[in-house]
Amino acid sequence: MNPLIPLYVTIPLAGAFLIMVLGRFISHFNKYFASLILLFLVVISFLSLISTGEGVSVYKAGGWEPVNGIPIAIYMVLDSFTAIVLCIINLIGFLSVIYSISYISRYTSENYFYALFCLMVAGMNGVVLSGDLFNIFVFLEISAISSYALVAFGVEKNELEATFKYQVLGLLASFLILFGIAFIYWNAKTLNIADIKMVFSSGYNKSYHYLIQLLLLSGFGLKAAIIPFHAWLPDAHSSAPSPISAMLSGVLIKAVGIYVIIRLFFNMFAISEGMAILITTLGTLSMVIGVFLAIGQWDIKRLLAYHSISQMGYVVMSVGIGMILVSRGIRHEVATLAITGGIFHLINHAAFKSLLFLNAGAIEYSTGTRDLMKMGGLAKSMPATSATSFVASMSISGIPPFNGFFSKLIIIIAAVMARFYLLATLAAVVSIITLASFLKFQRYAFYNASPGKNKNSVKEVPFPMVFSMVILSIICLLLSLLAFPGIREAVLSPVTDILMDPSKYSSQITGI
Amino acid sequence: MTVYLLCFILFLTGLYGVITRRNLVKIAISLSIMEFSCFLFFALIGYVEGGAAPIVNPDDPAKLYVDPLPQALVLTAIVIGLATTAMLMAVIIRLYRKYGTFDIREIRNLRG
């Protein structure tokens, strides 16, 4: 039993409370305390990443042991997949808070911002850690409600409209998830993921299962903005304050969307070929349609938001290819490679997409506009922003030696080896269109002649913002190391092991 | 079976409201109707004919007990639903102050 596990949820929850109570009396308490909390979470999440390795550690709230192999209490489970996602959440969260120290000082009521930020981190950590559907639902709502409020933080026309759309679709997603959970409970009489796995493996009704899987896929797909459910994402992500856009795009859609889909389909359901094909199709559609919607955008943050849909498409498609092969029971090593590629791209996307949103925020901070047409010549006046955004743009378009290249390469190799030649071609083509779109961003924002009036007034952003952006661009470079043998086996292989072998996950919880 | 069907009809009523109404407050009300049809469905699933409260009495091993899990989940979900509805209403009030209308057709700055 790992005693650190409950701290991931309790520390940010307590922090949110303390910020609201004490932040009123002590000036600057909120920003430094929030950074301290997130720094602590980063340290313990990296400690868990190192110490977890192949194992699964379970925290049983209240010390309730399973009775006759049936888990009866709140269980929090930490395995290698969880540890990696926790590292992403807390690291990006920490850098966003550092960035916010300068960025949010323009807004009023900073206390609310930092308190809601801590709540959102607590919710996401809870979703990732919890071992039953009840807690996944509760923590999902905690992170969702705080993100609704944070999207509307500017309280102007656009922000309010975006958050209304986001809330209506978010509520629909919650209802679908709740119906899915209800149908699972009806059939299995339990909500613990490992226990449901045990019940379902002893035989089930096929069409009933399709109903449950479709409900959960559409619910969590709405949270993850896979293509038929993507309508809220560009509005919400472009209207939020930039550090929040970085959190939403870099972390939230993964932690409460993709992560839960992968976890439930691999560790709870027996994968059926029909669902696997459906998931692959949705992923491919997001990948292709997302990039075509992105290419015509002139608002930087909308452009980046559409690219989030497209890049998440890569992750879903790659994991879907792995699921198809697993369901057919053939070519185990290719399936492993595809899933590795998907998880690797998920990690990389967190790094470069949050960096891009922070860059967009820096440009908006200095020039006061998000329209690409009105910028130009920023490379001279904002050297740090220009350099870091170049790193991020090259990463997302898949140029070596940056991290995006290696994950896309693994995905394409896996698709070719699995004989999905069409998907491999589409992945390569989408990558080229992404490159075109980011060259447009680079050229219009940084290298064109400036439109004159803001030539001399534009200055580089303050130090905390530069600090976050530089650290993230270094992370972008370092993550490419994960592709190499040795490091890959240490970090990514345990993840695929736990996903490919569900008994490993459930045996630790039920004790059988 | 009829109760489940009625529950589903309630859900569809809410969905109809969300899709066809143009007034923001009416959309919020329709969402609440959908929400409560979910809760009702979950509570109905947990119903046990003749079941007692789950305080186990060792003298009477044959007694039928109710599983407290659906009730606990529905209660939690109702509290969450209160929070989301309050949040939604707050946003609607702010929208009314900015735009001067509740009509969703006139609130469309964001496109593309």
- pLDDT tens digits, one per residue of A40-80: 999 999 998 888 777 788 888 877 888 877 888 888 889 88
Would residue B99 count as lying in a domain? yes
Exposure class string for A320-344: b at 16+ Cβ within 10 A, else e: bbbbbbbbeeeeeebbbbbbbbbbb
Q: Domain of B51: which CATH number? A: 1.10.287.3510
Q: Are A222 and A176 in contact (CB under 8 A)?
A: yes
Would residue B34 count as lying in a domain? yes
pLDDT value of position A455: 57
Name the token pair of A14: 């307590």
pLDDT value of position B10: 93
Q: Is the pLDDT of residue A284 over 90?
A: yes
In the three-class reduction of DSSP (H, G, I as helix; E, B as strand; rest coil), residue B79 is classed as helix
The confidence band for A347, taking pLDDT boundaries of 50, 70 and 90, is: very high
Q: Is the pLDDT of residue A458 over 80?
A: no
Q: Which residue has the tokens 């960096």?
A: A355
pLDDT (average), residues B101-105: 87
The confidence band for A217, taking pLDDT boundaries of 50, 70 and 90, is: very high
Residue A476 CA to residue A348 CA, distance in Å, equals 7
Residue B57 CA to residue A118 CA, distance in Å, equals 44
pLDDT value of position A512: 59
CA distance A325 to chain B (A): 35
Would residue B55 count as lying in a domain? yes
The confidence band for A216, taking pLDDT boundaries of 50, 70 and 90, is: very high
Q: Which residue of B has its CA nearest to A154?
A: B94
Mean of pLDDT over chain A: 88
Q: What percent of chain A has pLDDT over 90?
A: 53
Q: Select the residue of A145, A160, A179 nearest B95 (Cβ to Cβ).
A: A160
pLDDT value of position A26: 87
Amino acid at A407: S
Q: Is the pLDDT of residue A507 over 60?
A: yes
pLDDT value of position B25: 93
Would residue B112 count as lying in a domain? no
Total domains present in chain B = 1
Q: Select the residue of A144, A152, A186 nearest B91 (Cβ to Cβ).
A: A152
C-alpha dihedral, A312 to A237 to A386 to A290, nearest 10°: 40
Exposure class string for A102-119: b at 16+ Cβ within 10 A, else e: bbbeeeeebbbbbbbbbb
- The complex's ipTM works out to 0.94
Q: Which long-range CB contacts under 8 A does A385-388 form with residues at least 24 apart?
A: A385/A359, A385/A460, A385/A461, A385/A466, A385/A469, A386/A446, A387/A473, A388/A355, A388/A359, A388/A469, A388/A470, A388/A472, A388/A473
Mutation site for A-interface testing, chosen from B73, B103, B104 by largest number of A Cβ within 10 Å = B73
The model's pLDDT over A293-303, given as tens digits with 9 standing for 90+, comes to 998 888 899 99
Q: Answer with the residue of higher pLDDT: A449 or A150.
A: A150
Mean of pLDDT over chain B: 89
Q: Which residue of A has its CA nearest to B32?
A: A171
> Per residue, what are the HEC states of A3-71?
CCCCHHHHHHHHHHHHHHHHCCCCCCHHHHHHHHHHHHHHHHHHHHHHHHCCCCEEEEHHHCCCECCEC
The confidence band for A188, taking pLDDT boundaries of 50, 70 and 90, is: confident
Q: Is the pLDDT of residue A451 over 90?
A: no
> How many other C-beta atoms lie within 10 A of the C-beta of residue A490?
14
Q: Is the pLDDT of residue A431 over 90?
A: yes
Residue A81 CA to residue A340 CA, distance in Å, equals 11
The confidence band for A450, taking pLDDT boundaries of 50, 70 and 90, is: low
CA distance B106 to chain A (A): 11
Q: Is the pLDDT of residue A454 over 70?
A: no
Exposure class string for A251-281: b at 16+ Cβ within 10 A, else e: bbbbbbbbbbbbbbbbbbbebbeebbebbbe
pLDDT (average), residues A316-345: 90
Specify the range with the lowest mean pLDDT, choosing from A351-360, A367-376, A424-433, A501-510.
Answer: A501-510
Q: Which residue of B has its CA nearest to A234?
A: B112
Q: Select the residue of A149, A158, A179 nearest B87 (Cβ to Cβ).
A: A149
The model's pLDDT over A93-141, given as tens digits with 9 standing for 90+, comes to 999 999 999 888 888 888 999 999 999 999 999 999 998 899 999 999 9
pLDDT (average), residues B1-5: 89
Would residue B18 count as lying in a domain? yes
Would residue B111 count as lying in a domain? no
| Rg of the Cα atoms in chain B | 20
Choose among A353, A488, A305, A330: nearest CA to A409. Answer: A488
Q: Is the pLDDT of residue A452 over 70?
A: no
Name the token pair of A476: 């972008």
Would residue B76 count as lying in a domain? yes
Q: Is the pLDDT of residue B5 over 60?
A: yes
Q: CB pairs below 8 Å between A and B: how many?
A: 95
In the three-class reduction of DSSP (H, G, I as helix; E, B as strand; rest coil), residue A476 is classed as helix
CA distance A108 to chain B (A): 16
pLDDT value of position A289: 93
Question: Could you list the residue range(s) of the whole structural domain that residue B14 is in?
Answer: 2-106
The confidence band for B31, taking pLDDT boundaries of 50, 70 and 90, is: very high
The model's pLDDT over A373-417, given as tens digits with 9 standing for 90+, comes to 888 778 888 888 899 999 999 999 988 888 889 999 999 999 999
Q: Which residue of B has its CA nearest to A152?
A: B91
Q: Select the residue of A157, A185, A190 nearest B109 (Cβ to Cβ).
A: A157
pLDDT (average), residues A203-217: 87
The confidence band for B13, taking pLDDT boundaries of 50, 70 and 90, is: very high
The confidence band for B91, taking pLDDT boundaries of 50, 70 and 90, is: very high
Q: Is the pLDDT of residue B56 over 90?
A: no
Q: For residue A433, with 0-12 CB atoms within 10 Å meaning exposed, 13-18 middle and 19 or more buried, which class applies?
A: middle
Bond preceding residue A234 cis, omega within 30 of 0: no
Residue A316 CA to residue A304 CA, distance in Å, equals 18
Would residue B75 count as lying in a domain? yes
Q: Which residue of B has its CA nearest to A72?
A: B69
A185, B107: Cβ pair inside 8 Å?
Answer: no
Q: What residues of A are in contact with residue B91 (Cβ under 8 Å)?
A: 148, 152, 160, 163-164, 167
Q: Are A269 and A183 in contact (CB under 8 A)?
A: no
pLDDT value of position A456: 60
A185, B42: Cβ pair inside 8 Å?
Answer: yes
Q: What percent of chain A has pLDDT over 70?
A: 98
Q: Where are the domains of chain A?
A: 7-510
Q: Are B38 and A182 in contact (CB under 8 A)?
A: yes
The confidence band for A472, taking pLDDT boundaries of 50, 70 and 90, is: very high
